[in-house]
Amino acid sequence: MEIKDFGYNGSYTILANFLSAYPRLEVVPSLPPARKTNSYSSRRICRLLNKPPSDWSADEEAFLTHLLSEHESIRQAHELSQQFRQLIKEKSADGLGKWCEDAENVSAYMGFVRGLRQDYAAVEQAFVSEWSNGQTEGQVNRLKMLKRQGYGRAGFDLLRRWVLFRNCTPHRE
């Protein structure tokens, strides 16, 4: 025991009996209640910064307003993502060139802008076209999901049967 180092040579029982009779404090000191704080992962911050500010909750708005005011690079990336969102929403290809010029100076967007410029005509057409290949992408996504369900054991014949079986089953009413 640590107290023996200071010269106490009695037994543990004597010490325990003495301390049990020692006067207790009338008011037990209490700790302040624990505050629950929000934790923001980098993924959550990224998702929040890509949402319009009108969709932020009060806590998120307070945190993100502080974050954007303290970090110039994050504020710049947020503004660019909001501008890009607006260009897509308005289907305005006119501002895309200017946006690319502004965004290629931000390190977070360099790769994205490089990809846009590789096939700029197709990207520009996607902005103004009323057509979408969402149905095609959905079918490709479904096919990849079926492939993953087979854990790599599903060959082409089995995948073909799964896809054809789904499309050939009669609908019940």
8 A C-beta contact, residue 163 and residue 143 = yes
At 171 the pLDDT is 57
Q: What is the chain's length?
A: 173
Angle at 85 between CA 84 and CA 88, to 5 degrees: 85
At 154 the pLDDT is 67
Question: Tell me: the pLDDT tens digits for 100-134?
Answer: 999 998 888 999 999 999 988 888 888 888 887 78
Provide DSSP, 57-100. -HHHHHHHHHHHHH-HHHHHHHHHHHHHHHHHHHT--TTHHHHH
Tokens 């009323």 found at:
130
For residue 96, pLDDT beyond 60: yes
Residue 159 pLDDT grade (very low, low, confident, very high; cuts 50, 70, 90): confident
pTM for the whole structure: 0.57
At 149 the pLDDT is 75
For residue 160, pLDDT beyond 80: no
Please name the residues in contact with 70: beta carbons below 8 A apart, sequence gap of 6 or more.
none
Residue 167 pLDDT grade (very low, low, confident, very high; cuts 50, 70, 90): low
At 1 the pLDDT is 61
Question: Tell me: the pLDDT tens digits for 4-52?
Answer: 888 888 888 888 888 887 777 777 777 777 777 778 888 988 888 888 8
Buried b (16+ CB within 10 A) or exposed e, 52-70: eeeebeeebeebbeebbee
47: amino acid identity, one letter:
R
The residue among 77, 161, 92 whose CA lies nearest residue 127 is: 92
Percent of the chain predicted with pLDDT > 70:
91
Tokens 């082409």 found at:
156
Q: What is the mean pLDDT of the chain?
A: 83
Question: Tell me: the pLDDT tens digits for 51-62?
Answer: 888 888 888 898
Separation between Cα atoms, residue 167 and residue 55, nearest integer Å: 39
For residue 169, pLDDT beyond 70: no
Number of other CB atoms surrounding residue 129 within 10 Å: 12
At 166 the pLDDT is 66
149: amino acid identity, one letter:
Q
125 sits in which H/E element: helix 120-128
